[in-house]
Structure 1
């Protein structure tokens, strides 16, 4: 099986309260705000946050051609994001201190990862663990 051409994947999410989401992402998951663009009405038009060499983009919820909905609006989660961390136990302590809604508590997988899953305040699903996709030896 040949590997695809290298590239980056940058998830983007929308939040009803993107400023609160930015705070949570920084506090609970260790993201760092790279920049935040105001929408001219006190909201957030666009923000970029980094975690290690990866990044995400977020913005305020709005009706537009993308038709993106929050998990609450959609009636369930339509995606999840997996964060690779060097220390799942430290990440677990951080999200618990930030009051994240626990979906799956910290556990060890049969394929060698230590991980857990939480929801942010608006219902987006975040799985955090030590497994790096594409590294399974099988």
Structure 2
């Protein structure tokens, strides 16, 4: 494989929000992302942004700039993707997200996925516009 740009993961995702500026602020407060780049457009829109969590990167942009980019809110909450983020402490992260207004769709739960995969503690949350997120903590890694 050819090298990728510095500070970028090999795969990242773009999310679209009706109110992208508010979503960026909320994602920082609720889930602990940090904004490293934000390009603002006319009428309080976000043309492009990059939010980081550890070595992961997501892009958050305003819905409606292109016909095929929409927030789940505009489609009755239907999602075509979910995002999974590894965190250090699932229970503390869940409490932070809940305090910021995240809808917790699955309370933290520990599951053993077998000898090949190990054990994770995971919770599910929905953000302000209906994107679904899974946050997981590695509890046990097989030898």
- Identify whether the pair has TM-score above 0.5, normalized to the shorter chain: yes
Question: Larger strand proportion, structure 1 or 2?
Answer: 2
Superposed CA deviations along residues 41-68 of structure 1, whole A, max 9, x for unmatched, are: 3221111111011110011001526x12
- RMSD between superposed Cα atoms in Å: 2.5
Runs of 4+ in structure 1 off by over 2 angstroms are 4-7, 72-75
1:129 aligns with 2:136: yes
1:14 aligns with 2:6: no
Q: 1:63 to 1:19 in 2, by over 3 A?
A: closer
d(CA) in 1 for partners of 2:11, 2:109:
26
For the residue of structure 2 that corresponds to 1:45, the secondary structure is strand
Aligned-pair CA distance for 1:35? 1.4
Counterpart of 1:102 (choices 101, 104, 110) is: 104
TM-score by length of 1: 0.85
d(CA) in 1 for partners of 2:45, 2:109:
38
Q: How many residues matched?
A: 132
d(CA) in 1 for partners of 2:17, 2:66:
14
Alignment-derived partner of residue 53 in structure 2:
51
d(CA) in 2 for partners of 1:71, 1:50:
22
Alignment-derived partner of residue 61 in structure 1:
63
d(CA) in 2 for partners of 1:84, 1:109:
15
Gaps of 5+ in 2: 4-8, 114-118
d(CA) in 1 for partners of 2:97, 2:46:
24
d(CA) in 2 for partners of 1:18, 1:56:
13
